[in-house]
Amino acid sequence: MENGSGSIRALVREIVGSHGGTIEAISAPGAGAVSTIRLPLEAG
């Protein structure tokens, strides 16, 4: 992992959360990881 990747994840989590969105991460050893960010189409 690169240096600072935890800080980037925290920043993304904060931004997505402030817009009412969610983040889902799925990983498997040796197979990599997939992250899904979902944001609502409208505010509120």
Check residues 11 and 2 and name the one with the higher pLDDT: 11
Q: Residue 4's pLDDT is what? A: 61
Q: Residue 6's pLDDT is what? A: 80
Distance CA 4, CA 36 (A): 20
Output the CA angle 39-16-32, nearest 5 degrees.
Answer: 90
41 pLDDT tier (thresholds 50, 70, 90): very high
What is the model's pTM?
0.69
Each residue of 5-36: pLDDT tens digit?
788 889 999 999 999 999 999 999 999 999 99
Q: Residue 43's pLDDT is what? A: 62
